Chains A and B, each alone.
Chain A
Amino acid sequence: MTAKDYKLIFTGTMGAGKTTAIASISEIPPVRTDVATSESQLASKTTTTAAFDYGEVSLPQGDILRLYGTPGQTRFSFMWNILSEGALGVIVLVDNSRPDPVQDMRDYVDAFRDVVGRSRAVIGIGRMDSHPDPDIDVYYDAIGQLGLDAPIMSVDVRRRDDVLVMLDVLFNQIEAAEAEAEMDTVGIA
């Protein structure tokens, strides 16, 4: 059996933990394109991703997960389009301590609607320990109102195991979606 490459996207607002998530699981030194933030931006972070982060995870049967982290800021949204080309799945990271994290989720789900709509997405909510509201049910309601469905889970991206669980769920979704597409192709559905 030939090993496959899977291109997966980590997206979400600036500070949601995309760079940290990729760094916590990548088996290679991650490629980073961090740049210093301008003072005028009043940002809480001193650096931000300008192009993308990149890391790799290999699976036991030889398949490779290629992980791309998008810039978080909307002025870099042209990179979202470039990076989502050929992506098989997306992890949307949300920072629950932000003023309107549910709207953040809506914005990024909408930006990657093509991938999310094909049942190839997982939503990870961060900082729920210190900011428990809104809870997971609110997010499920919001994504349901968008006419979409995706697993939603609390995550601490600094914990390798948390990120691996998200990847595992996403990968299972992708396999299920691909199996369904294959059955459709051969007329078994």
Chain B
Amino acid sequence: MSAAPKNDDLDRAACQPHLEALARNKEVLGALISTVDGFEIAAEVRATTSVKKLAAMTSSLLALAEATSQEGEVGNCIDVVIEASEGMVLVMDVPNDSRKLLLTVLCNKAATLGSVLWAARNTRTAIGSDMNR
């Protein structure tokens, strides 16, 4: 028997409240859940951010980070952290049983890496748990 078809709308419904909760953090500018091949599932970002483009770039970034980790013989990639002049970007996968999804978190300059990583990891765990139900 083949697996049930994945439903983007159901996944979006599972993800969106968690993204909204994460974005209420004053250090977080926005957050995105996308498929590993670069399609948007759910987003809570500023109107000026191109979600489609960000989803595709996130896919490339994590694919390259995973290839680099393997080439460097340091195991599997867990998170990608970009420190920029005006903030940070975090990219990580969302553990769940159905399909590989990515969580991207955009943070402002005031963000401290430890606190946003902690918040982002909690969010991805919560989303993964909801998707597994």
Contact = CB atoms under 8 A, between A and B. Distances in A.
Given A33-B60, A40-B39, A78 B8 contact: no
Contacts of A34: 63
Given A33-B67, A50-B38, A76-B38, A40 B8 contact: yes
Contacts of A75: 38, 52-53, 55-56
A51 B8 CA distance: 24
Interface residues of A, number: 22
B27 interface: no
A33 B37 contact: no
Given A50-B60, A51-B64, A39 B38 contact: no
B6 A50 contact: no
Nearest to B64: A51
B109 interface: no
A48 interface: yes
Interface in B64-122: 64, 66-67, 71, 99-100
Q: Interface of chain B, helix or strand or loop or mixed?
A: helix
A33 B57 CA distance: 13
Nearest to B36: A35
Nearest to B41: A38
Nearest to A40: B8
A76 B56 contact: yes
Interface in A87-132: none
Nearest to B60: A51
Interface of A: 31-41, 48-52, 71, 73, 75-76, 78-79
Interface of B: 5-6, 8, 35-39, 52-53, 55-57, 59-64, 66-67, 71, 99-100
- Lowest 4 A-B CB distances belong to which pairs? A33-B63, A50-B63, A51-B64, A51-B60
